[in-house]
A = this chain, B = another copy of it.
Amino acid sequence: MMLSEYTRLINERLKKAIECKNSKYKGLYDAMAYSLNAGGKRIRPVLVLEFCRMTGRDFHAAIPAACAIEMLHTYSLIHDDLPCMDNDDLRRGLPTNHKVFGECNAVLAGDALLTEAFYQISSSELADIVKARCIMVLSEAAGLNGMCGGQYLDTNYDDELSEEDIITINTLKTGALLKAACMMGVICAEGTDEQLNAASVFGDNIGRAFQIRDDVLDVVGNSEQLGKSIGSDSKDKKINYMSLYGEEYCLALIEKLTCNAKDAVRQSFSDTSIVFDLADSLAYRKN
């Protein structure tokens, strides 16, 4: 109930989040809007809003941060799908951005979404200290030592990947941004350092569980449910938990990480039922 309310609100706000001031470059706006409004689970913005609420502030305060992280996540999907990266044709059941708007405009749409994410926060009505801290957390999670570093490893891997390497890739590529989402929620509500740390551990663990579930679904899921080509990762010989250790090991690990996530937040927040449900829905999802 709460989750669907969040998702509805986020979808509504994302539609109005970016202003196109000149019709001459409306084509670029359209490319940005195409991917931003293509649906998706809105996991990261939901986490921002819910952690803000759990920390004791009206979740509406965190809407700019929630929109920002979804814009940033969307940019990463557009660039990851590019011919020079994963070369994917399908995303969320729709043709990928470069398939519709061309490669040049897909690169630009990603660039602009990433940039506008920071405008979203800096131009909001949040307190200056909240803006500065949110932007620091978000840019650190998305930069060299976060998502970009993870994507680099994922696309430049060699055949000698160790379990540690896979953890690093998962942590950077997926975990960093989920962790940032939880932390930004606490920051928007000006929570304690203890709450910030709990949110960080929660995000890190659900991030890893999420990525392992992704690997499992890539092998045992079906194309229609997942909205992308089955085996699209393994066909390019990508090594992951599933290919190394098999389904049983992966399922046990997902369970363990989800427990770790819940344990982390139990003490620091009074009302954790929604994030517990969310953790379960990510860990045990079918698509």
Binding site for B on A (CB under 8 A): 18-22, 24-25, 27-29, 32, 75, 79, 82, 84-85, 102-105, 107-108, 110-112, 114-116, 118-119, 121-123, 127-129, 131-133, 135-136, 138-140, 142-145, 148-153, 155-156, 165, 168, 172
Name A25's contact: one of B27, B139, B140, B152 (CB within 8 Å). B152
- Distance in angstroms from A173 CB to nearest chain B CB is 11
Bound Cα distance from A142 to B115, whole angstroms: 7
Residue in B103, B116, B131 whose beta carbon sits within 8 Å of that of A143 in the complex: B116
**Are A107 and B107 neighbours in the complex by a CB distance under 8 Å?**
yes
Majority SS of interface residues in chain A? helix
Give A148 to B110 CA distance when docked, in angstroms.
10
A132 touches B139 (CB 8 A): no
Instruction: Check A20–B145 contact: CB distance below 8 A.
Output: yes
- Pull 30 A–B residue pairs with CB atoms less than 8 Å apart, ordered by A: A20-B144, A21-B145, A22-B168, A24-B149, A24-B153, A24-B165, A25-B153, A29-B144, A32-B144, A75-B111, A85-B107, A108-B151, A108-B152, A108-B155, A110-B111, A111-B114, A112-B143, A112-B149, A114-B115, A115-B143, A115-B144, A115-B148, A116-B139, A116-B143, A118-B135, A118-B139, A119-B143, A128-B129, A128-B132, A132-B132
Q: Please indicate the chain B residues that have their CB under 8 angstroms from the CB of A107 in the complex.
A: 79, 82, 84-85, 107
Smallest distance from the beta carbon of A174 to chain B beta carbons, Å? 15
Chain B contacts for A112, CB-based, 8 A: 143-144, 148-149
Residues from chain B with Cβ under 8 Å of A79 in the complex: 107-108, 111
